[in-house]
Amino acid sequence: MTNDSDTGRVMGRRQWLQQIGKAGGAICLLWSLGLWLREKDGRKSALPVTSVRFSNYAVPGMAGKLVAVTGGEDRSKAIGLALQALGGIEKFIRPGDQVLLKVNAAFASPPLIGATTHPALVAELIRLCLKAGASGVLVADNPINDPAGCFSLTGIDAATRAAGGSVVLPKTGDFKPLFLQGAKRLDGWPVFYEPFKKVTKLIGVAPLKDHHRSGASMTMKNWYGLLGGRRNILHQDIHRTIQELAHMVTPTFVVLDGTVAMMQNGPTGGSLSDLKQTGTMIVGTDQVAVDAFGAVLLEKDIQTLGFIRQAEAAGLGTADYRSLNPILIST
Amino acid sequence: MAQKKTPKVGERRLSWMILFLLAGIGVVVFRVQQRLNPAVEIITMPVAGIESSGPRKKGEQLSVMIPVPEGMVAGTPLEIFLAENLADKIDGKADLYLSSGFARLFCRRFVSPDDSDFWIEILVYDMNGTRNAFAVFSLQRRSGAVRLDVTPFAYQAENALFFAHGHYYVEMISSRLSEIAQKKMRSAAEQFVRNAPVPDGEMPEPRLFPETNRVENSIKLIASDAFGFEGFNGIFTTDYRDGEKNLSAFLSVRPTSQEAESLAEEYARFLLAFGGEAIPSTLNIKNAKVRFILDTYEIVFVHNRVLAGVREAEDLQQAISLAELIQKELIRHDQ
């Protein structure tokens, strides 16, 4: 028997066990109720069951290619010359290909600020892909705040439509959890997968920018725009995240638009005085090398850009871009 | 009277088992909470609010406070972002604001009724304090911009206008490069200052820096972790050019002289811990500490409640001269 000191009542063992049992039952009941409500409020339905992984969009035999066109302000001309130097767009895009251009449309800002992919570059790439026989060109990004406004105000929407492409705006159901073996940050993270369903070629098109957190925003960081969820928490481990983004996607090629570079106050900028005319269009199939080249234009020490070092260490490319014998074209 | 009885061994064991089980449940719940599924957060993340639903301070009429630039009309509703979703608007730059006391951002885009490609976006950051607003203003200050007299801290770039006004930091960005756009932004800035009266914020530090050789418009306020040292918050810095050499100075008024002294000691130790070398002081400043680190000299000292120092000086004599000049200025302000 036990003594309840508050009431002075004597409690028998059986009674004590009964009370413990009731208390345990009540806890289980509340727990079950919580679980039931959790599923009822729709969150479980937001958790897709099937994980996805991105295909390898690289073209065999084109690994390690790098070209830079310098001296010009005409983006259309520069991208044309760069691709010509790599054997022409036909080396990458075959008739019937469905192409996705992953642009940076993260902010509702005008092209002159240099925070987003320039619409003239988007238009020319669409034109080249269609000329090579692509069956369609999709243009996508996931600017979390007001996607339609971002595509419109950056000029990308109008440029895409005028050139014959289609903009894909993200919707909640377009996201699937990513399967990325060995990834610490991105395995299971929701990604903007819908536009990839029928895509056979992928081209990343990024502006060259300073970035307050990662030091620089270039082609590898550009894939961040494929992430959904509350992705800003990934900034806490930004270098590892960017390295995993490069691991997540193997594109057909990437374009780093260094016609102007945002040298400070990135990634949003806001003032023309944040920009510098660097007059360089970089195109390559090695994202790490392209970004390493871009870092030079941004006057950043590669050693301070952890994501480049990590991506190289992970075998995703080389930070020694000169070792790829880049083709340099001066206009 | 009831007899008090010692629990039996079996009862004790059962009690311990139940407690152990509850503790185990607690651990599991804690671990699950640490691994929130980001896919779930798509549903639960906060979204930008509009004025009707967003938070506001007493007496604050946001739509009135943000002026409509002359001849333009509102192109979007007023949006409000809080710390939880600021990154949705400005992505990676959110950290700069969050580490400086950010409270909320409200913004609105205005368009020309005759030309939809001509617009001006006004972003008002409520930084929860004059110092915080000055911190984000100063850390993003563009070189070569035209100074404006809208507030003591204001400048205009070719396509944009930036200023700090009390606890607000304001950006106005135009989609066009034109004299008309600049004029509209200037006028809107003046209107904002009229619409949003703020109390005079006491910020004595900028006046304490000696003027000799000081680089104009170089005063910055680092809200936290200045120079990589965790203890340094609210540190003002400015640049000096002595002949061909550059160096910088810093100072911060602390609540007590004891705190200032303690911070100075800790910072001097921090520099040693990261490879600095202690140099015997020849300064006419009591307790000044001199360090040689990364090929430059640093001096840190305390004057009453003011923590002050010199950084990144290539020349020791120049560092000493500047430190003594700062000391003289501080004494002058004491009188």
From first to last of its 335 residues, what are the pLDDT tens digits of chain B? 455 667 788 888 888 999 999 999 988 888 766 655 544 444 333 334 444 334 445 545 666 689 999 999 999 999 999 999 999 999 989 999 998 999 999 999 999 999 999 999 999 999 999 999 999 999 998 877 888 999 989 999 999 999 999 999 999 999 999 999 999 999 999 999 999 988 876 688 888 999 999 998 889 999 888 998 988 999 999 999 988 889 999 999 999 999 999 999 999 999 999 899 999 988 889 889 999 998 999 999 999 999 999 999 999 999 999 999 999 999 998 87
Name the DSSP class of B45.
Answer: S
What pLDDT is attached to residue B244?
Answer: 86
Q: CB-based contact (8 Å) between B18 and chain A? A: yes
The ranges of chain A with pLDDT < 50 are 1-2, 4-5, 39-48
Query: Is B93 in Cβ contact with A267 (below 8 Å)?
Result: yes
Contacts of B92 in chain A (CB under 8 A): 211-214, 217, 235, 238, 266-267
- Burial label for A227, CB within 10 Å (0-12, 13-18, 19+), is buried
Query: Is B43 in Cβ contact with A46 (below 8 Å)?
Result: yes
What residues have CB less than 8 Å from B114, skipping those under 6 apart? Answer: none
| Beta pairing class for A166-168 and A136-140 | parallel
Q: In angstroms, what separates the C-alpha of B258 from chain A's closest C-alpha?
A: 34
- B35 vs A42, A178, A185, A196, A289, CA distance in Å? 19, 16, 11, 28, 34
Query: Is B87 in Cβ contact with A235 (below 8 Å)?
Result: yes
| Beta pairing class for B73-74 and B104-112 | antiparallel
Q: List all residues of chain B from 26 to 85 with a beta carbon under 8 Å from chain A.
A: 37-45, 48, 76
Per the DSSP assignment, residues forming a β-bridge with A177 are A190
The one-letter amino acid code at B243 reads G
- Which of A176, A267, A182 lies closest to A229, judged by CA? A176
For B225-271, write each residue's pLDDT tens digit.
899 898 899 999 999 998 888 999 999 999 999 999 999 999 999 99
Minimal Cβ distance to A267: which of B37, B92, B142: B92
